[in-house]
């Protein structure tokens, strides 16, 4: 029978033996897996673990500052890198979802590789890979295949030539959460909804602009805060707002408006493979709609997505 305390003890001992006095770099995403992996490595090797947390400008409102702050409170040796302009600049004029993903993946690798070079004599790349990721990466379209496709010209970036240490690669998600809880991680961090790597870039349908990012961050923050205050955040598996590039007519006072639409998405799921749209009560949806329309300039209409997966996906892009 699996026990998180004994997993933690054994893993820390094994990491100490394996890593000795070596340095490790690890990219934090703000998610559960990379955070738990970092805390385990930190307990084993302390300041020899060098964490890197990149702000790609496509995170939720205030998320970079809040998450960086909580990493620092955990005692992690973490460097926050503001790469907003690089990511958002490279996305200018790009509408195709797969192109967005490729650009973001490539920009991340560039930023991470540069940061990795600044850690002298680093020997290892730490990763929060969990067991289902190991299985997935065995398929042709796994993450490593994608990363390699970006680098078929100049060869692999240097950090990808490092030895890899993955303390969670035998665990399932619920086990990672139990380990995180036993390690004393913030329950708010452990209970966070999944959030896609490309972030808000794939929740702004079509073209991305700094104005659209700001509008979506505001609307999404109102939505998520109301889900939290009504107890719905923990009842749904994933939720987020989506910016639709269509404009529709509205009226405000005596003025006719012609502005954009925010779509609310919330689903119940076990693993993201299939999902049902969540039956959030009408009163709560009404309150979210009012607050968004009254407070977010540029939005005059809010809709709710009542599609399940399949045939719809969770994200719109």
- Is 22 known as a binding-site position? no
Minimal distance in Å, beta carbon 315 to ligand XMP? Answer: 3
- Whether a cis peptide bond, with omega within 30° of 0, leads into 253 is no
- Is 34 known as a binding-site position? yes
Minimal distance in Å, beta carbon 72 to ligand XMP? Answer: 24
Closest to ligand XMP by CB, 219 vs 267, is 267
- Is 32 known as a binding-site position? yes
Minimal distance in Å, beta carbon 312 to ligand XMP? Answer: 8
**Cβ contacts of residue 153 below 8 Å, gap of 6+?**
none
Q: Which of 246, 226, 237 is nearest to 290 (CA)?
A: 226
Residues 277-283: contacts with CB under 8 Å, at least 24 apart: 277/305, 277/306, 277/307, 277/308, 278/232, 278/235, 278/236, 278/239, 280/227, 280/232, 280/236, 280/304
Which residues of this protein are in contact with ligand XMP, per CB under 6 A? 101, 194, 196-198, 238, 272, 309, 313-315
Helix (H) or strand (E) holding 248: strand 238-252
Closest to ligand XMP by CB, 18 vs 193, is 193
Closest to ligand XMP by CB, 11 vs 56, is 56
Closest to ligand XMP by CB, 119 vs 190, is 190
- Is 289 known as a binding-site position? no
- Whether a cis peptide bond, with omega within 30° of 0, leads into 183 is no
Structural tokens at position 89: 């600049």
- Is 240 known as a binding-site position? no
Minimal distance in Å, beta carbon 197 to ligand XMP? Answer: 3
Q: Which residues are annotated as a binding site?
A: 29-35
């Amino acid at each position: 029978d699996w026990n998180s305390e004994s997993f933690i003890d054994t893993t820390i001992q094994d990491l100490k033996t394996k890593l000795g006095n070596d340095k490790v770099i690890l990219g934090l995403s703000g998610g559960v897996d990379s955070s738990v992996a970092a805390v385990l490595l930190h307990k084993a090797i302390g300041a020899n673990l060098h964490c890197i947390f990149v702000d790609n400008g496509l995170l939720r409102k205030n998320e970079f500052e809040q998450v960086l702050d909580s990493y620092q409170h955990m005692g992690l040796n973490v460097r926050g890198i503001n790469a907003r302009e690089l990511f958002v600049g490279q996305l200018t004029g790009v509408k195709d979802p797969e192109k967005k993903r490729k650009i973001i993946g490539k920009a991340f690798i560039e930023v991470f590789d540069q940061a990795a070079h600044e850690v002298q004599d680093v020997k290892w790349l730490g990763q929060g890979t969990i067991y289902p990721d190991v299985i997935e990466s065995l398929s042709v379209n796994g993450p490593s295949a994608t990363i390699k496709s970006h680098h078929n010209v100049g060869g692999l970036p240097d950090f990808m030539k490092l030895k890899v240490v993955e303390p969670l690669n035998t665990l399932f998600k619920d086990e990672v959460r139990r380990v995180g809880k036993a390690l004393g991680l913030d329950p708010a961090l452990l209970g966070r909804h999944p959030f896609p790597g490309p972030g808000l870039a794939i929740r702004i349908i079509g073209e991305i602009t700094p104005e659209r990012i700001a509008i979506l961050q505001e609307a999404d923050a109102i939505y998520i805060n109301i889900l939290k205050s009504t107890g719905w955040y923990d009842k749904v598996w994933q939720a987020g707002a989506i910016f639709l590039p269509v404009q529709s007519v509205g009226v405000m006072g005596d003025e006719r408006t012609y502005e954009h639409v925010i779509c609310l998405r919330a689903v119940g799921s076990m693993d993201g493979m299939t999902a049902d749209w969540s039956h959030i009560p009408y009163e709560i949806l009404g309150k979210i709609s009012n607050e968004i329309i009254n407070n977010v300039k540029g939005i005059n209409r809010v809709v709710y997505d009542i599609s399940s997966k399949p045939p719809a996906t969770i994200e719109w892009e």
